[in-house]
Amino acid sequence: MTPLQRIVRQPLFWITLVLALFALPIGRSMLRRLPEAPKVFAPAPDFRLTDETGRPFERARLDGRVWVADFIFTRCAGACPLMSARMEKIQKRTRQLGRAFHMVSFTADPERDGPEELAAYARRYHANPRGWNFLTGPRDEIERVARAMLLGVGREMSQAGLMEIVHAEKLVLVDQRGRIRGYFDATDDGVDELVSALALVVNAAP
């Protein structure tokens, strides 16, 4: 009998082997780096605006919830349809969160986007009013909210001499304590990144 055969016949050899096989995946899981929670950028501002039904909508309604915001306008033929389509995708992917999550779209063109226009736009993207609201109000208030969220919204003169609406094209993630936790592109990859960050924030201790 060879030395190797003698070792294999020992019970201690098999006990050691089994323990090693169990310890390997446990060790790997302990060494695997857990995803870090998104950093805090700034506090989201308070506001009192009007939703697509004509009712008042205050920031306080979002306290205790994770929420995502963007700035769009209903006559936009550029980035807004893409952004709203991505918000619709987020709505579908977060249905299981219920009241723990909400979405808010601010109009960047409040002079022309009243509740009726916003309601029609909301229907276009199958927005569930229990979880996705569209807000309008005085322009200076909309622009104040955008600045406080570190985003740009306003008007500028085009080369053709026409006044154009300009707005940031980011989706903003805000946590349960009203803190901004990330800015994401309105792309499929951006939505994936946002949903991953959202899951970390939702599951974090308040």
Q: With a cut of 60, say whether residue 177 has pLDDT above it.
A: yes
Q: Which pLDDT belongs to residue 161?
A: 58
User: What is residue 199's three-state secondary structure?
Assistant: helix
Q: Which pLDDT belongs to residue 1?
A: 56
CB atoms within 10 A of CB 8: 12
Q: Which pLDDT belongs to residue 128?
A: 95
How large is the average pLDDT for residues 93-97? 93
Q: Which pLDDT belongs to residue 4?
A: 47
Band (14; pLDDT cuts 50, 70, 90): very low
CB 164 within 8 A of CB 157: yes
Structural domains present in the chain: 1-32 (no CATH), 42-203 (3.40.30.10)
Amino acid at 83: M
How large is the average pLDDT for residues 80-105? 95
Count of all residues that appear for the chain in the document: 206
User: Within the chain, how many helices (H) and strands (E) appear?
Assistant: 6, 10
For 112-147, the pLDDT digits (tens) are 999 999 999 999 999 999 999 999 999 999 999 999
Q: Which pLDDT belongs to residue 157?
A: 56
Give exposure, 175-196, as e/b (b: 16+ Cβ within 10 Å). Answer: bbebbbbbbbebeeebbebbbe
Q: Return the percentage of the chain with pLDDT > 70, whole number.
A: 77
For 26-44, the pLDDT digits (tens) are 455 444 555 677 888 999 9
How large is the average pLDDT for residues 184-201? 94
Q: Return the percentage of the chain with pLDDT > 90, whole number.
A: 67
Give the angle 123-135-59 at the CA atoms, nearest 5°: 130
Q: Which pLDDT belongs to residue 203?
A: 82
Q: With a cut of 60, say whether residue 12 has pLDDT above it.
A: no
- Mean pLDDT for the chain? 85
Q: With a cut of 60, say whether residue 156 has pLDDT above it.
A: yes
